[in-house]
Every structure is written in structure tokens, then in C-alpha cells.
Amino acid sequence: MAEDLSERTGYAEFYNGGTYHRKVKILDSTLREGEQHPGISFTERQRVQIGWLLDYLGVDSIEISPIVSESHRQSCRSLMKAGLRALIVAHGRALKEDIDVALTCDAQFYAMYHSVSDIHLKYKLKVSREEALRRTLEAVDYAKSHGLATRVTMEDASRADPTYVREFARALYEARVDRISVPDTVGALKPSGMYRLVASVREVAPVPIDAHCHNDLGLALANALAAYEAGADQIHVTVGGIGERVGITDLAQLVTSLYFLYGVELDVKYSILPEVYKTVEQYTGISMSENAPIVGRNAYRHKAGTHIAAVLNSPSAYELVPPEMVGAKRRIVFSELLGKNGARFLLNVLGIKADDELAKSVAQGFKNLQLGDLFELELDQEIERRLMSSS
Ligand code: HCA
Ligand code: CU
């Protein structure tokens, strides 16, 4: 894909400080974090179908919690049996009883979480720092002795004492966990803060790091990218960014940013993103905002006359992301902003040979009508062909 990147990014790379190219894994948590979104509950069949779609899209891991209910446990079991390429990650507490449930699903990989911030230890769990670490290590041992690969999430790491976070991470490394997840559980970090958190954990624990960024201040994507820059090996996302409260990093935004900002070539089928989003939208009843980057209705809609004219010349003028790459369509909105060139385009599409005079008077007509957006046209190949042959 990378060959036409600079055509779209120009000299942006200069300001972005060069590209990285380093690959990073994508963990989709639509079935775990996503189901914590207010109002969302999938059926077993929907979970399996979403899992199948995500696998086909190309995510590396699919996270699900078998602990929540019998139906979640069954869904987890079905996903294990589905023969997917993606790793199925069973998520639960750092507790024997939760690990036992994961084992009944034939889980191979168990991701356990335990809080590490004083705020959580005091108000949520009422345990000391020592006890928190002891319990977690005990659970790691238990999971490992049952043949499970393990990840430990240091929940609320971003608000925890940095010295304790490092001690905790070091102990996990020494206990040979396979991964450590570093979450910004309440979205309390800015990108440089997330960078420092990941870097500081990596310094003491040379194991693959997952980054999990909440969007409470709207920084989930920026923080995930900072975590990537700091060396995170896997980033957590959900379809539409759904999750507890206002959710986490959005899948489409992350994979597309990795490509355009860093030149990372993931094994992701970008063109089926709309299919994945539509399915999840249908099952959640929550529609994506028109303004959602990449998958929103407005992402490739051009309206101002000057934009329309430039885009018809070369879409790169006003598009970073080519819509065809992500399975979307470019659209032209006809309104009083359409201008002479937009009017000429419209007349061409209608098969009317337009001279300057006619184009101008049609543009004026649109202004006089004062009806806002009158209609829009999807630019398909037939229209583009007609346009080319008439210009
Ligand atoms: C939760 C907390 C969590 C865990 C993240 C992870 C968080 O809801 O259980 O396991 O990587 O944000 O800290 O989602
Ligand atoms: Cu979370």
C-alpha cells in the first residue's frame, strides 16, 4: 500500500518526525470493553459473528470475558472452537475462580487485571499495596500451572505511584508473565504522559506491553499513538471506540493513523471496515456520528466550490485518506457553496455541455434558492468516467 503515501501526506512527515514502520499488534476488545458500554449487550450469535468479522479484518487478538455470565462463557467457548487466526484472550480478575471459568472454555491465554493505584486499592478493593501484588502473583502462578499464557493488567496504572508501578511490573516480569497491559483506566494522561508511563514500565519489565487508553478527555487515539511511539507491542481498540463510560481508542482510527502517520503496514483489510462497523452498529443500536473519522458519513463528503473543483482535479487536494482504501465512497454535496466549477461538474454529469455562462448562472441559481444542501452525489466509476470524457 505504501507506494502512494507521500502523494497524500506531502511533507507532513517532516513535522511528524519521520515514519517508524515498526509493526504493532491490534487487540480488539469490542466483546469485552465494548460490552461495558452503557446499553450494549450482544447475543451469543452476535458475539461469534463479530469475532469472525474481526478475525477476517485482521486483528491479532480478540478479547472477551467469559466471567460475566453463562452466555459470555458459551460465547467464549464458541470463539475458541471457531478456528480463528486471531488469539482469543479470556479476560477476568486475578482470581482463581475466574481463571477456573476461563479453563472451562479451553482458553489458552488469560488476561487478568488487578488495580495498582492507591485510589483503587483504598476505595475499590480495600487492600494494601503488598496484598495487591501478592494476590496477583498467586493468580499468575495458578494460571501458569494450568498451562495458560498470561497477561496482567495493572489497572489504573496512570494514577498509581510510579515507583510502585515499576516494582509491580518488575515482579510480573520475574514471575514470567507473557504480557503486561498498561492502561490509562480513566483517561488521566496526555500523550507525553502515556509515553512516559509505557517507557518507564518497559525499562524494568522487558516483556511485550499492551496499551489500553480511555477516552474521558478525548485523547484515547493520541495516547495510543504515544504508547506506540514508546514501544508498546499491542494496542487495545474497539469498534466505534465503545466501552465503559465514553470508551477507548477506536479501531478504524488507530489502524488508519498507524498507516498515514507512521507508515505501518498492518495485515488489516481496510476495505471491510464499513462492513464491520455496520454490523456492530446494527447489534448495538448505537450509530456512528456523521463526523466520525474514517467511517463517518462526512469523512469523504466535499461541499465548498473551491474544494469540489480541486478534488475533481485530484482528490488528494482535500483528502488524506482515499475513500476506496477504506471501503467508502467520495461524495459531492451540491449547495449554495457549489460555485461555478461545481455547477459545471453537475451539468457535465447530467450530460449538459456547460460553457462558462451557463455554469455561472446555475451557481447563481443555487445561491438564490437559499435551500442549504440541495442534494449530493456519490462519485462512482461511471460518473467519474463521464466526467473525464466530457472535460
Ligand atoms: C476493566 C479495566 C480495564 C482493563 C484494561 C486491560 C481498564 O474495565 O476491567 O485489561 O488492559 O481500563 O483498566 O478496562
Ligand atoms: Cu478499560
Higher pLDDT, 309 or 140: 140
User: Is the same domain home to 158 and 276?
Assistant: yes
Instruction: Give a yes or no: residue 1 inside a domain.
Output: no
Q: Quick one: which H or E segment has residue 265?
A: none
State the cell numbers at 388: 473525464
The finding on whether 113 has its CB within 6 A of some atom of ligand 1 is yes
Amino acid, res. 192:
S
3-state secondary structure of 287: coil
User: Is the same domain home to 237 and 342?
Assistant: no
3-state secondary structure of 343: helix
Q: The pTM is what?
A: 0.95
Residue 389, pLDDT score: 60
**Which of 28, 30, 110, 113 to probe ligand 1 with, by most ligand atoms within 8 A of CB?**
113
Do 92 and 98 meet the contact criterion of CB atoms below 8 Å apart? Answer: yes
Instruction: Give a yes or no: residue 190 inside a domain.
Output: yes
pLDDT tens-place string over residues 189-235: 999 999 999 999 999 999 999 999 999 999 999 999 999 999 999 99
Residue 383, pLDDT score: 72
pLDDT tens-place string over residues 17-27: 877 789 999 99
The finding on whether 241 has its CB within 6 A of some atom of ligand 1 is no
Instruction: Give a yes or no: residue 3 inside a domain.
Output: no
What distance in Å separates the CA atoms of residue 390 and residue 377, rounded to the nearest whole number? 17
Residue 3, pLDDT score: 58
pLDDT tens-place string over residues 254-312: 999 999 999 999 999 999 999 999 999 999 999 999 999 999 999 999 999 899 989 98
User: Is the same domain home to 154 and 211?
Assistant: yes
The finding on whether 118 has its CB within 6 A of some atom of ligand 1 is no
| Distance (Å) from CA 295 to ligand 2 centroid | 23
Domain of residue 248 covers 17-284
User: Is the same domain home to 154 and 77?
Assistant: yes
| Mean pLDDT score of the chain | 94
Instruction: Give a yes or no: residue 291 inside a domain.
Output: no
User: Is the same domain home to 277 and 364?
Assistant: no
Q: Whose CA is nearest to atom 9 of ligand 1?
A: 113
User: Is the same domain home to 280 and 342?
Assistant: no
Residue 370, pLDDT score: 85
The finding on whether 183 has its CB within 6 A of some atom of ligand 1 is yes
User: Is the same domain home to 233 and 181?
Assistant: yes
Across the range 56-71, mean pLDDT stands at: 98
Across the range 179-187, mean pLDDT stands at: 98
Between β-strands 331-334 and 375-378, what pairing exists: parallel, antiparallel or unpaired?
A: antiparallel
> How many domains is the chain partitioned into structurally?
2
With bands split at pLDDT 50, 70 and 90, how would you rate the model's confidence at 390?
low
Instruction: Give a yes or no: residue 289 inside a domain.
Output: no
